[in-house]
Amino acid sequence: MNTISLERLFSPRSIAIIGASHTPGKLGYDVLKNTVQYGYKGEVYPINPTASAIAGRVCYPSVKQVPGNIDVAVIAVPAVAVASVLTECGEKQIPFVIIISAGFKEIGEEGKQHEQELLRIAEKYHIRLVGPNCLGLINAHNQLNASFTAGMPKAGNIALISQSGAMNVAMLDWAKQSQLGFSKILSVGNKSDIDEVECLNYLATDTNTSVIMLYLESLEHGQAFMEAASRITPSKPIIVLKAGASQQAQRAIRSHTGSLTGSEEAINAGFKKCGVIRAATIEQFFDYGLTFSTQPLPRHDKIVIITNAGGPGIMAVDAAQYTKLDIFKLNTNLQQLLKTQLPAAAGTKNPIDVIGDASAERYEHALNVLLADKTIAGAIAILTPQTMTQVNLTAEKIVSAAKRYGKPVLASFMGGAAVQSGRDYLEEHQIPNYETPERAVLAMDQLIKQVQRKIKPFKFPKISSHNVITAQNHPQISTITAEQLLMKYKLPVLRSQLIKTVADCNTIKQFPVVIKIASRDVIHKAAAGAVLLNINNVTEAQRAFKQITQHVHKKFPKAEIEGMLVQKQIPLSRKAKEVIIGMKRDVAFGPVIMFGLGGGMVELLHDVTFGIAPLSKLEAEHMINAIHTAPLLVHNDKAAIVQALLAVSKLALDYPNISELDINPLMVHPTGKGAHVIDVRILPK
Amino acid sequence: MNTISLERLFSPRSIAIIGASHTPGKLGYDVLKNTVQYGYKGEVYPINPTASAIAGRVCYPSVKQVPGNIDVAVIAVPAVAVASVLTECGEKQIPFVIIISAGFKEIGEEGKQHEQELLRIAEKYHIRLVGPNCLGLINAHNQLNASFTAGMPKAGNIALISQSGAMNVAMLDWAKQSQLGFSKILSVGNKSDIDEVECLNYLATDTNTSVIMLYLESLEHGQAFMEAASRITPSKPIIVLKAGASQQAQRAIRSHTGSLTGSEEAINAGFKKCGVIRAATIEQFFDYGLTFSTQPLPRHDKIVIITNAGGPGIMAVDAAQYTKLDIFKLNTNLQQLLKTQLPAAAGTKNPIDVIGDASAERYEHALNVLLADKTIAGAIAILTPQTMTQVNLTAEKIVSAAKRYGKPVLASFMGGAAVQSGRDYLEEHQIPNYETPERAVLAMDQLIKQVQRKIKPFKFPKISSHNVITAQNHPQISTITAEQLLMKYKLPVLRSQLIKTVADCNTIKQFPVVIKIASRDVIHKAAAGAVLLNINNVTEAQRAFKQITQHVHKKFPKAEIEGMLVQKQIPLSRKAKEVIIGMKRDVAFGPVIMFGLGGGMVELLHDVTFGIAPLSKLEAEHMINAIHTAPLLVHNDKAAIVQALLAVSKLALDYPNISELDINPLMVHPTGKGAHVIDVRILPK
């Protein structure tokens, strides 16, 4: 692969359209038409062996006959013909080829092999590929539409990278109705070569782009994605729409806790780690894109709501209840200032109700008073079309106030035809309008969250594959070995002594003890009746040994029993709580660390959080505080949990052949009293 | 008040417009113009003492001069003049008067007194009032617009009752863009007389109305509302948008558990009890209204999704994860049937992906195969505008398939101009279209929930005020009295013995016991160090008596100490769980019953549910299962909790002067082992 910048792809000096056609309705017709019709200044070469000229341009039988250099070739011929024209592109030394043609990986095994062949050709000739099975690209800043989507979107600061042609088309069609402005649009299709990560790395320094929107259906290179995103999100927000969130729900049903980690959890934890904003719905995807592309970032979280109707104002406050927005009560000074030009019946606390007969001047006065105040970070202006309402003039006043103070101002002009001209004016002047106040609130919340995130660019450590741990023909490492490994990482293991026979009970030095089965075939030991507490002397220990052996023989006749594990019985405060720390290695994101309240609770409540290794101390603290039942840990030693999470994170990175690890339970004592690893399970690859 | 049906209000034979005006921009001009211009067939009498004719009609100086009878008078004169013209309406024996004029309760104390005066006049003359401070009414089925909102909405089956004029205007303006069709629209304003409850009772039998939409800012008559709604919702859905939900969050912050019940909780519990659908946002309010007004109800919960693009299909499945929708995998028979006319690459499991080049016939084939199947309740059709997409023809096929099978079919044609004609066709033919697939999913979910609700009409029992309990000059009833009251209702009280002096410790008959303070001034007894466990003999009891006395004297010097409460110490299984059952009397909804996990957990987790008395067994079971931590009670005696909830519900209804009651904790033993009331607190009014 060559390492030429994607700048040449997005801003080519010349383009060849292979498969260019005279016939409307054919791909090659649409692509050629789009490429020439919007004012692209570079050379465009139609390629078709059966025509001498198309659309008034000289047509060449092959790229090889084109006299000048070609920066980008767009292939729109049937799948079977792609390999041969791609070879010609190689011979012509074309650096970038966009393969629009479909009929590859997406149709099954045969197509997959064809796609492999294309990759081999590309590698041989150092061609970088976009697609196959994609729409092409648009660069709105040089009027280039080398795609088969009609229209040229407004030039702006949003880069859109999409894995689905269909979503791309729908989005661009929507965008035409709004004031969404784009820098670059690329449909990456099957991502055989150029993918979203490479696009991110390019867009990081693209001066025309200040907001990046990604539509993804899969994410193969999680760590590279996070590294790239962590460099970008501190200055350019990345908004992702990723289908498939509900797989999480399906997986969570599985009974084994290890399976609570999985790729959707990894994706969410990964996005969080690098500051990516995940839109939950298509509507949010658009709303957030529009908001970030037009608004300055707020300096803090104190927001005012101005409305000419009480109800919508209250609905906005309702919507704010689970956000970071602070709809705070205005101080009396500000209230007095507002009252100088508002009627007595106006509400001046926040929401500010300029009431039903509000003129544009009332909105202007309120915005000027409020936005001038340092303690106020931004405003949401709500308008309903009442008899005295000056829709257009109010829109103008909102725009000029927003410009004057450089703070985010979002609008919700509610209704249809009666407010349309005001909405249009707002959007033309970079004030986004949302159909309902609740959507404005969610958008403002994202602006605030973007400021509050403190992402620093990071790189993943190189994996040292020296450390290997094996389980000797068993899926699971023996408890004693696992405990030794954990102790190496200073995890507070309550160490077990392995006794192999009833007679060995004599070797127990200190009572009381807990005795449990030593068998890698018994996973839920307590549930299997294979754990006995309060063993006070050797006789009781012998009895326990026999009883547990019987139980396990009965329940798991095939279980291989190594003996019994003897643990010191530690005195437990009533406040001690069991938590679980898990690790599962994700194919794309690496080790995913899980935290939750432990014991039976984990599987019943599904109240767990996830993080990607290496965890920082802050990330570990967030994981603990983010479970719903976190208040139950208020009197427990959270610092000890943080230490354990960090140790597991490090261990997982050091031992790349461990695929799963569960500490369950970690017994967490009251604050200041530490924690103990009671049981551990480690599965190597 | 007269008891004439509101039918005469909505379908008057004659209307007088008091304050009718020549001057555009004046209220009286707009109302008169709207009343005459849309084709209303009844008599319209302009009333104005200074004109002889307005808008070509004879104008009368007063309603008293009008020759014929008047069914409805609309008053649009300044507030100060309303009382005198209302008196004239009374003398003319006009049964209904709509007071559009503002300047009453909403402006403060003076306005409130003016409003009271209007009510006195109305009572004297048996006039029923709408407003004041309202927009008026619209009856789209007889072309009557007696309001100052311009336009006549499409006639349809939705009744809209709104407490806010501004929201009304915005909604009607929005509605013009969609195919929302209305029967009656009434702005109730200050609700001085006619309110939403009376409207519900009328709409219950209005044959033109099959869906009721309510926008409310306050709800004063909760029990009457629930009674009316419980008769209606089994046949006509009621969708409510109610501002103010976030007050719940504010209240929940208060430390005292009693304050966890309050009016927002009452509203939500009340809506649930009578089957009312609460829209969380303005967007949902519209979406649900449109959906119910056009769609038949599904017979069960199995839904198919048909799409020409994978991503939006998956987004729809994601959105379904917290709904009642079952996006089930199609059986092989159905898959085979689908495959007969779909390409090999199509997805046939569900979502059904007819893929990007899908013709209208593919959608038609899929819909015919699927909707014909008895196991399928309804379909969501998603369309993205791709090169081969037949937008209009697909819309036609969807409409005809929906008609053929009489099952709910919702659409999401994604995009802007490229799909607009298809959207228009769908909506003209009663297939709602949602901008995004996620919104279609939420709407379908409401259809299914409407079917699954099993609401039966109910009446609240008459309150018998014979039962009174008093606390003798203290906010709280003594523990012993409270325990006696609970025992009357067969609640499993762990009865306390009151000992007044250290010497009385000799009277304790059985050990071990728990000793705790008897003082109505110490609320959180355990936290105050005023509870001691494991008291095994008289000496220990004496020591405990002294120790607790000292503790309380120190912490609460002013607390009045009655002595000590002695309770048998019951053996507790490790599985026993503390829960809380609370009751707070809501001014609008009556006794609100609260349930949650008890002890410190309640105040930390805010994980509680609410129900309105009288509770049914089913409602009590739902309350228990609806808390997030319900899985933690899987091994506990839920039947005993149900019994306790029902007993508290009955007690609260029998003793109307109890304002709050808390059983905290109710100790719930393992399944089959019952429960015990450990502590109780009762506050009379």
The CATH number assigned to the domain holding A14 equals 3.40.50.720
Output helix, strand, coil percentages for chain A, rounded to the nearest 5.
Answer: 40, 20, 40
The answer to whether residue B255 scores a pLDDT higher than 60 is: no
R_g of chain A computed on alpha carbons: 31
List the single residue in B with minimal CA-CA distance to A311: B243
Q: Is residue A282 part of a domain?
A: no
Q: Are residues A549 and A662 located together in one domain of the fold?
A: no
B254: pLDDT confidence band, cut at 50, 70 and 90? very low
Pairing of strands A563-568, A577-586: unpaired
pLDDT given at position A1: 47
Instruction: Using CA atoms of B123, B124, B128, B130 in order, give the dihedral in degrees to the nearest 10.
Output: -70
Is residue B392, in this structure, part of any structural domain at all?
Answer: yes
Nearest residue in chain B measured CA to CA from A104: B345
pLDDT at A3: 57
B421: closest CA of chain A, how far (Å): 13
Name residue A241's beta-bridge partners. A215, A279
We report the CATH number of the domain holding residue B638 as 3.30.470.20
Determine, yes or no, domain membership for A255: no
Token output for A237: 């927000």
Asked if B578 reaches chain A (Cβ–Cβ under 8 Å), the answer is: no
Q: Is B604 in contact with A632 (Cβ distance < 8 A)?
A: yes
Measured between CA atoms, the residue of chain A closest to residue B633 is: A604
Between CA B582 and CA A281 the distance in angstroms is 38
> Which residue is closest to A317 within chain B, CA to CA?
B246
Taking phi over 0 as left and psi of -120 to 50 as alpha, with beta for the rest, A291 belongs to alpha
Sort out which chain B residues have CB atoms less than 8 A from A418's CB and list them: 169, 173
Which 3 state secondary structure label does DSSP give A420?
helix
Distance separating alpha carbons of residues A533 and A516, to the nearest angstrom: 9
**What CATH number is given to the structural domain containing A562?**
3.30.1490.20
- Residue A314: phi and psi, rounded to 5, are -70, -40
**Gap between the Cα atoms of A280 and A443, Å rounded:** 12
CB contact at 8 A, A127 and A94? yes
Model confidence at A257: pLDDT above 60:
no
Question: If contacts are CB pairs under 8 Å, which of residues 140-169 in chain A contact chain B?
Answer: 148, 163-167, 169
Name which of A161, A177, A182, A304 is nearest A239 in CA terms: A161
Of all residues in chain B, what percent are helix, strand and coil, respectively (each to 5)?
40, 20, 40
More confident residue, B265 or A464: B265
Tokens of B133: 């401070």
pLDDT at position B246: 67
Secondary structure (DSSP) of B544-561: HHHHHHHHHHHH-TTPPP
DSSP state of B632: G
Query: Residue B413 CA to chain centroid, in angstroms?
Result: 31
Evaluate whether residue B261 is within a structural domain: no
Q: Which residue has the tokens 């479909």?
A: A102
Question: Nearest CA of chain A to the CA of B241: how many Å?
Answer: 9
Domain membership of residue B671 (yes or no) is: yes
Q: Are A283 and B412 in contact (CB under 8 A)?
A: no
Predicted confidence band of residue B257 (pLDDT cuts 50, 70, 90): very low
Name every chain B residue with its beta carbon within 8 A of the beta carbon of A384.
Answer: 166-167, 169-170
Give, as one character, the DSSP assignment of residue A250.
H
Cα distance between residue A684 and residue A660, in whole Å:
7
Residues B392, B539, single domain; the answer is no
Q: Can you say whether the dihedral through the CA atoms of B132, B135, B141, B142 is positive or negative?
A: positive
d(C-alpha B338, C-alpha A153), whole Å: 38
B414–A170 CB contact, under 8 Å = yes
Q: Which of B408, B405, B424 is nearest to B416 (CA)?
A: B424
Place of tokens 């290794």: A613
B134 phi-psi bin (left φ>0, alpha ψ -120 to 50, beta other): beta
Question: Which among A164, A345, A604 is the nearest to B634, CB-wise?
Answer: A604
pLDDT (tens digit, 9 = 90+) per residue, A466-503? 788 877 777 788 888 999 999 999 999 988 999 999 99
Radius of gyration of chain B (CA): 31
Say if residue B132 is preceded by a cis peptide, omega within 30 of 0. yes
Instruction: Report the C-alpha gap between A21 and A33 in whole angstroms.
Output: 9
d(CA A149, CA B386): 9
Residues of A in contact with B217 (CB under 8 A): 310-311, 314
Is residue A551 domain-shared with residue A590, that is, in the same domain? no
The last residue of one of the domains, among A568, A588, A621, is A568
In a domain, A414, yes or no: yes
Question: What are the structure tokens assigned to A414, written together?
Answer: 């509610």
pLDDT at A95 over 90: yes
Same domain, residue pair A310 and A213: no
Give the closest-approach CA distance of A246 to chain B in angstroms.
5
Distances (CA, A) of A409 to A316, A440, A581: 14, 10, 43
**Six token digits for residue B164:** 């806010």
Look at chain A and count its residues: 685
Do the chains contact at A243 and B311, CB–CB below 8 Å?
yes
Which residue type does B184 have?
K
Of B575, B606, B574, B577, nearest in space to A630 by CA: B606
Left (φ > 0), alpha (ψ -120 to 50) or beta: where does A540 sit? Answer: alpha
DSSP assignment of B369-404 equals: HHHTSTT--EEEEEE---TT--HHHHHHHHHHHHHH
Lowest mean pLDDT among A538-542, A558-562, B3-7: B3-7
Q: Which residue of A has its CA nearest to B345?
A: A107
| CA–CA dist A129, A127 (Å, integer) | 6
Do B598 and B524 share a domain, yes or no? no
**CA gap A629, A609 in Å, rounded:** 11
Count CB pairs under 8 A between chains A and B. 186
* Pair B297, B415: CB distance under 8 Å: no
Is A175 close to B283, i.e. CB distance below 8 A? no
> Strands (DSSP E) along B201-255, which ranges?
211-216, 238-242
Residue A573 has a pLDDT of 79
Cα A4 to chain centroid distance, Å, stands at 28
Average pLDDT, chain A: 91
Interface test with B, best of A282, A574, A597 (most B CBs within 10 A): A282
Domain check: are A150 and A169 in the same one?
yes
Q: Which domain holds residue B630?
A: 577-684
Element (H, E) at A603: helix A600-605
Report how far residue B664's alpha carbon sits from residue B597's, in angstroms, rounded to the nearest whole number.
10
Q: Which residues of A134-157 are buried (b: 16+ CB within 10 A; e: fewer)?
A: bbbbbbbbbbbbbbbbebbbeebb
Identify whether residues A589 and A673 lie together within a single domain.
yes
Question: Chain B 48-87, CB below 8 Å of chain A: which residues?
Answer: none
For the segment A238-262, the average pLDDT, to the nearest whole number, is 53
d(CA A269, CA A291): 24
A456 domain residue, yes or no: no
A308:B166 CB<8 A: yes
Residues B586 and B558 in one domain: no
Cα A369 from Cα B275, distance rounded (Å): 45
Same domain, B375 and B353: yes
Alpha helices in A253-331 (DSSP H): 263-274, 282-294, 310-320
CA distance A631 to A323: 19
Among the listed residues B629, B309, B574, the one whose alpha carbon sits nearest the alpha carbon of residue B437:
B309
- The SS3 call for residue A236 is coil
Residue range B65-81: average pLDDT? 96
Final residue belonging to a domain, choices B198, B225, B243 = B243
Please report how many Cα atoms fall inside a 13 Å half-sphere around the Cα of residue A314, on the Cβ side.
Answer: 19
H/E stretch holding B302 reads none
Q: Which of B269-278, B338-347, B419-428 has the lowest mean pLDDT?
A: B338-347
Q: Which of B535, B568, B601 is the last residue of a domain?
A: B568
Please check whether residues A236 and A313 belong to one and the same domain.
no
Q: What is the mean pLDDT of residues B493-507?
A: 92
A435 touching B (Cβ < 8 Å): yes
CB of B677 closer than 8 Å to CB of B666: yes
Task: Give the Cα separation of A463 and A467 in Å (integer).
Answer: 10
Same domain, A189 and A49: yes
**Whole-angstrom Cα distance, residue A134 to residue B413?**
21
User: Hey, are the CB atoms on A311 and B167 less than 8 Å from each other?
Assistant: yes
Measured in whole angstroms, the distance separating CA A608 from the mean position of its chain's CA atoms is 18
Contacts of A417 in chain B (CB under 8 A): 173, 176-177
| Cα B452 from Cα B323, distance rounded (Å) | 13
Assign B575 a pLDDT band (cuts: 50, 70, 90): confident
Count Cβ neighbours within 10 Å for each residue of A285-314 and write b for 16 or more, e otherwise: bbbbbbbbbbbeebeebbbbbbbbbbbbbb
Task: Check: CB of residue A648 under 8 Å from CB of residue A492.
Answer: no
Give yes or no for a contact between B234 and B244, defined as CB atoms under 8 angstroms apart: no
Q: A136 near A148, Cβ under 8 Å?
A: yes
Chain A residues closer than 8 Å to B317 by CB = 246
Per-residue pLDDT at B3: 56
Distance CA A84, CA A62 (A): 11
Residues of B in contact with A316 (CB under 8 A): none
Render pLDDT for B302-353 as a digit per residue (tens, 0 to 9).
Answer: 999 999 988 898 889 989 988 989 988 899 999 999 999 999 888 898 999 9
So what's the ipTM on this one?
0.88
Nearest to A165 among B163, B356, B437 (CB): B356
pLDDT at B253 (0 to 100): 30
| Residue B343 belongs to domain with CATH number | 3.40.50.261
What average pLDDT does this structure show over A395-415? 97
Question: Same structural domain for residues A53 and A162?
Answer: yes
Is residue B204, in this structure, part of any structural domain at all?
yes
- Residues B586-645 have pLDDT tens digits of 988 999 999 998 766 677 777 899 999 999 999 999 999 999 889 889 999 999 999 999
* C-alpha dist (Å) from residue B603 to A185, B259, B600, B610: 51, 11, 6, 15
Which residues from B are below 8 Å from A632, CB to CB? 601, 604-605
What value does the mean pLDDT of chain B take?
Answer: 91
Number of structural domains, chain A? 4
Res. B574: pLDDT tops 80: no
Specify whether the CB–CB gap between B158 and B209 falls below 8 A. Answer: yes
Q: How confident is the model at residue B366 (pLDDT cuts 50, 70, 90)?
A: very high
